[in-house]
Structure 1
Amino acid sequence: MEPRKLLQQMFEAAVRSALPEYCVPRHLPSPPKGRVVVVGAGKASAAMARAFEDAWDGEISAGLVVTRYGYEVPCRRIEVVSASHPVPDQAGGAAAARMLELVRGLTCDDLVVCLISGGGSALLPLPLPGVTLAQKQELSRELLRCGAAISEINCVRRHLSAIKGGRLAAACHPARVLTLTISDVPGDNPADIASGPTVGDATTCADALAIVDRYRIPLPGSLRERLVSGWGESVKPDDPRPRDAQFRLVATPQAALEAAAQVARRQGIAAHILSDRIEGESREVGKTLAAIALQVARRRHPFGAPCVLLSGGETTVTVRGSGRGGPNVEFLLALALALEGEKGIFAVAGDTDGVDGQEEIAGGFVSPDLLQRAWEAGINPRLSLDDNDGHGFFEALGETLVTGPTLTNVNDFRAIFIAG
């Protein structure tokens, strides 16, 4: 099979394995004596709501989910609201406030089903009293630019939120709570997926403040005071309200990588999953994986060729240039530069939600002739990387991966094919 077609099929298999229509129905709860309320947030939440509706035989008393603009799926009994991601907006804040009201006053006979997926943190931007949406928007921009890991970003978010960090589960109490989750974070830590609205949080305001100071992010006095005083402390794991809630992972990055591996193996090509939780600067990860690919291509170690090296996780970009960014295309550009046109090595990288950074482009492709084609087109690959302009680079060469909204999100997907 032609290398690019193989890589495309592996990416598609990874996305398909995490589609809500396949993974949600396998995890339906038992019907309660009382009411059923469905809430949720994330890029996949509308599709998850539709899948739940289609598979659920009982009544749904009320429902509300918030998803990213463009990721709407029509539902019959669950309201779908659209909001901004990754920088939040007023629509998300209003939806979060309504969600809290929807789950208040329930009894122990009632059931709340929470449909959570990646992106939910930005889509539920309900600030604590005394914190404004404008402050949260500016803080989000700074956190996204500074190169902080997603676990660090969400730690800060949890401690300035009125709904995240277990607060949604606390509002549901004493109703039974079941969270069905599509994971988009390295290690599948429940507290980091959408900043954990239904799970207890072991981190503290002091941890959040340390992260802000580590990256030298300026904070208005009111925000700093809430962290210094501990006034914004999240709901802890030993609190009985989130402690008794159920939490189920219905789709994960590891399962997506395994689905992609099966595509390669059916073609008689060995597939090796390096990790589902690679983090760090995108360009550094690109150089590291290029070194491994070259070791395989030239020394047949630690694997023989032909083979595919698969990995997932969430890399970051510290923005220093004025380009169009994107962690997956930044990874690919650094990979290509480190490979230096090595024959027989091809790669794809993309975000499984269809959006790399803030562009409606999932990622891109690398082939051995990529750098040569760039030079012939008058494009300096090194300058493109220095300017954080991966999207501009791959778009100019016709090597972008465009999917549109995939309606799911299991993080970044990377595949390197070494033909041998």
Structure 2
Amino acid sequence: METLIMVGQLLLGLSILVGVHEWGHMVAAKSFGMRVEKFSIGFPPKIWGKQIGETEYSIGAIPLGGFVKITGMIDESLDTKTLNAEPEPYEFRAKPAWQRLIVMLGGIIVNIIVGVIIFIGLSMVNGETYLPKEELNKHGIVAYDLGQQLGFQTGDKILSINGRDYERFSDLLSGDVLLGSDNYFLVDRNGEQIKIDLPNDFIDRISDGGKRIPVFEPRRPFSIGEVVKGSNADIAGLTSGDRILSVNNQPSSYFDQFSTILDSLRGDSVSLLIERGNAKLNLKARVTEEGTLGFQAYPGLNFVERDLTFGESVVVGTTQAFSAIILNAKGFGKMFSGDIDPRKSVMGPLGIMKQFGGTWDWNRFWYLVGLLSMILAFMNLLPIPALDGGHVMFLSWEIITGRKPSDKFLENAQKFGMVILLSLMAFVIINDIINF
């Protein structure tokens, strides 16, 4: 069932993104009087189609893209049978270069608009929730294995990133940090300031087949939330609101301390020092074979939660949307420089499907659709023949020089671009299967 939900979200998300992208091309083309022969979401074979006016609208069986067929345009269909005749007024090739340029940018522009609108909407609905620096540094961090390899220790208090102050915990592992170069943290460790350098392949180190390897997280004091009836915690007399100060005389005020101690005492009886209101109590409990007692932990961290006005949502959402493009550009730069291994960082349909998850969460769904919309805009702008960016490159040359590349050149460039795209698609899919 989880697989079906992941597939369903992937297909719906791709259909929305491809649909609005191709709609952008079609609307721009029709507005300039160009004939649009076909509008398809998905690639052939066709599983549904309907002719409306001059345009056939269809759905293809391969949901990994789509296309708009504009008369007189050399595109991925490589249909050149009409190019030897004089262009008709309704053909793509008969229109001024600036109009053709707008048509090729239409899909990219609509993807950007859709991405921005989605992020603005999410900002309005969800507001902001974050852990401020001051609250984080009351208790410090819990350093996991990768964090310890980099030089962090549990209890470190992070003072700055690259010599600059930060506002919230999420800033510490933001895209700028993951994709930056020569980054470093300054931490306070028992009153001593220590510099920790991050490697330039940091993003590779935290990636494992599309999953994020944890580096560190906020250290959490905790109290007992809901106690499971009939559990060892219930039998021992623990109640909601209790704080466990120690286990077998070992300090356990932080959840990482508590869980580590219980993991080493599976199946054993333990002595608990409990704080209940102003009183301290000693209780006996048995640890399960799974290393638990049977209660939910309530984290004792004070997060900032606030609603955003429409104006604030526009600023926050727009910033988040365009950050996706900037970070993708940085990621490409690091791949070409050799700092990032494409096998760990490039994600295809299976990887994206896993990101949607096995439960239908509309908030996560729309976040990923908005993110993918911005990434699709960036990818399509790359100057590769067969992509929109390839057409934009040749049209820009025509506008600047006043000389149009020959149809034969454009046809060969399109073939070359298709070879590149098919090779990239094969790499991505094979890499996805390996990671999956």
* Same fold per superposition (TM over 0.5): no
Q: Mark the structure with the bigger radius of gyration.
A: 2
TM-score of the superposed pair, with normalisation by structure 2: 0.25
Task: From the two aligned structures, give the one with the greater helix fraction.
Answer: 2
Calculate the TM-score normalised by the size of structure 1. 0.26
